[in-house]
Structure 1
């Protein structure tokens, strides 16, 4: 058997009963979190443009668009994925050489599950499958340092999740994964230099293609059976050799994914906590800051601190701001929070934060890098004009796997981020359905999501 056939066997065998109680709880929390940040983005400019395009192109109404309307499953996967990605407030998984966002798979799995009229338990199982594959491939087959985007591993995960949600047999699951994995190898330039809208749309594009791959496979279309180990396959051309014994894998990896406390790139979370600790000191005054000095781990410096992925002191757009550690530290010290409001165009352009971010110096430290990814170490010093120095060290934050969100914390974030576009009754209904999703049809959730109306959808 080829590697993709063995992987397909793992996908086919997966059952809801395989999930531990703790994994089910965390999986539901991830669904609540992902839906919440999607609702919070309903009126974003790029989302409105995508909605208009979907309306112009049409599509058989088999899958719900969050915020109203239905379309074909692949287009629903793209649109809903774009919503959940836009705020950059979604979950993450940290591997030594890769960072991914497994909630990116929800759009594909939800669209496929609704098309098939699946149960909530079947949806959750398919989503758990996608989480497991995405995180494990990130562990053993990182591609970032080879110039490829982390959506590359996601092409396998999203296709597997969609195929599972469609209840495809093993051979069609294998073909779904093979087609998607072969076709979707994206470039890391997505997240380097001057960042564009594509930063938030790269994975939705992968989810759309993966959903379509599963639908093709369901109709007998085949893909390269040696996609992993074959001549010019994934191992040969991109990842190098790796091994995963899928016969020994479970569905528990969701428990090692982490949620964002702050609306900021994941590697910034503990550093922002440190900044807020300093701001809480009664002798601190943001207007008096002379310099900020952060010591952190190499990955944070590389991606958001001004390392190899670009100058992070040039901040003009939301996409640049939420991947700029200098901006996020500066705005945290001034505003006392890093939430969606901190990415409004006027806030980004304001003189106070633009001046403050230029006072930030970020240095990678080998001793801190050695702690990653088990910890997210940050050592922050803030010096005032009178010479006073405040210093705070942090290694994790609330939302990290050492201090995970419970349902109460997840619900508080959900309510806050989605309140602009929902009533209290709508939020309560959605949360209640997700909490009992394993006892319901998936339609109970999609009906509620389709009933939410944004201004963009109404017009």
Structure 2
């Protein structure tokens, strides 16, 4: 009951100006990556399915004229936010070391679709977003670093909490919604390791869709196992009680989790953002000398998560889009060669081209405690390129341009520039400006009018 009570309360921190500004930037970023992903393979396939299924047309599908059901909108828009591996990323301290928490904006489509369905005002929707981000961080701290479960597992609880809060559930109904949402949590970590598959783009959306469905059932009086977190027959293997469940409903402390939410300037894994930025800064100096390169050393922070990712052989020599956008060898190579990293760099299986394969084979990965020390809360990188004449060219990036500093949040210029660039091929400039204005005035904007701009 305590967790349910917390999800319904309004913490004073959620109405602070800095958090309101951060929420708006994260909404804009999530909408931008969804618009940019409307032609991605995952988006197309899910779109075909929701067309076949049909449903009560109450909610907007981003990039489509026709509306669909609430549950289908969550699946479709959730897939689009994730399809290009371009949405936000959060880090947290796990067992004393910085690690990847996940991607809170996976649930931004849940908030927006539920708000549209329920007619919730912008101010309440923003509070739900702040709650969802904070809940994400707290639940992730209860999952051991070495866990068989994927971080998206937390969204069974979060998506149910979002719907219940926006629907105005009472305490008992919300508790049952969370209990049933928890039954949809457990997703194995293999979705994000090994031979990466397309389902990594759908994992969160599938969980969230199911969790909102259970919350809707709770709203009709269906009850769930309220002991699901505490009982040994519940989720002890996912959320470890020894890590202190009471932190789930504690007052918000500094910094609020949403203030540590970074955007990705580049369409790839979060831990490679700084490496890509360093590679792009090297591009002007190496673009005409790619054939002279004899060695590439990519040095990253000495952290357990980085060591684990560097050791993944399927990422070193990618064979799919999903593996390529997680590859610490391919990403710097293509960024140095082409001076860009976006969807275009994946379209023609660039990782299989002879010039890029050669650079991949020349790449050596290392870690550095010094980098980790100099960039707390970030995933820094340094790239050193050796040429045939012995010249060594080096670039270092401690904080990429999408980094959110806890005391001041994201750079508005970085978010707006990204949104403008990635949506330009899909929507006219005038509509882009109207979307930005609607998000800037989100507290007073009708959700339906914002969603109409996204069709």
Q: State if a TM-score over 0.5 links the two structures.
A: yes
Question: Post-superposition shift, 1:427?
Answer: 0.8
Find 1:70's aligned residue among 67, 70, 79: 67
Cα distance in 2 for residues equivalent to 1:42 and 1:303:
32
Whole-Å Cα distance in 2 between the matches of residues 433 and 33 of structure 1? 13
Of 287, 293, 298, the match for 2:291: 287
Aligned to 1:389: 392
Partner of 1:430: 435
Displacement, 1:256? Answer: 0.9
In structure 1, C-alpha distance between the alignment counterparts of 2:445 and 2:153, rounded to whole Å? 33
When the two chains are superposed, the root-mean-square deviation of aligned CA atoms in Å is: 2.2
Match of 2:342 in 1: 339
> How far apart, in 1, do the equivalents of 2:339 and 2:203 lie?
31
Which residue is 1:106 aligned to? 108
Which residue in 1 is equivalent to 2:226? 225
Distance 2:228 2:307 in 1: 31
- The answer as to 2:46 corresponding to 1:41 is no
Report how far residue 18 of structure 1 moved: 3.7
Determine if contact 1:88/1:322 at 8 Å carries over to the other structure.
Answer: yes
**CA deviations over 1:276-325 (Å, ceiling 9, x no partner):** 233344797222111111222334534542x1x44323223211110111
* CA shift digits 1:191-221 (9 cap, x unpaired): 1122111011111111111211211111112
* Aligned partners of 1:143 and 1:149 also within 8 Å: no
The separation in 2 between residues aligned to 1:231 and 1:16, in whole angstroms, is 35
Is 1:79 paired with 2:81? no
Structure 2: which 5+ runs fail to align? 95-99
**Distance apart, 1:346 and its partner CA:** 4.2
Query: TM-score by structure 1 length?
Result: 0.90
In the TM superposition, residue 391 of structure 1 has moved relative to its aligned partner by: 2.5
CA–CA distance in structure 1, aligned partners of residues 313 and 239 of structure 2: 23
Indicate the SS of the match to 2:196: coil
Q: How does 1:313-392 map to 2 (within 5 A)?
A: 313-368=316-371, 374-392=377-395
Q: Distance in 1 between matches of 2:417 and 2:375?
A: 28
Q: Contact conserved, 1:278 with 1:284, CA < 8 A, in 2?
A: no
SS of the residue corresponding to residue 234 of structure 1 reads coil
Q: Which residue of 1 aligns with 2:4?
A: 8
In structure 1, the residue matched to 2:91 is 94
Equivalent position of 1:252 in the other structure: 256
2: CA distance, partners of 1:380 / 1:300: 19
Q: Is the 8 A contact 1:37 1:90 kept in 2?
A: yes
Matched, 1:31 2:3: no
Q: Which moved more, 1:9-18 or 1:191-200?
A: 9-18
Report what 1:155 is aligned to: 156
SS at match of 2:150: coil
Match of 1:449 among 435, 443, 454: 454
Q: SS of the residue aligned with 1:420?
A: coil
For the pair 1:263 / 2:264, whether they are aligned, the reply is no
User: How far, CA to CA, are the matches of 1:371 and 1:406 in structure 2?
Assistant: 20
For 2:85 and 2:379, locate their aligned partners in 1 and report how far apart those are by CA, in whole Å. 18
Unaligned stretches of 5+ residues in structure 1? 451-459
Q: CA deviation at 1:25?
A: 0.6
- Aligned equivalents of 2:226, 2:36: Cα separation in 1: 40
The answer to whether residue 240 in structure 2 is matched with residue 239 in structure 1 is yes
Q: TM-score, normalised by structure 2?
A: 0.91
* CA pair 237-49 structure 1, distance change in 2 beyond 3 A: closer
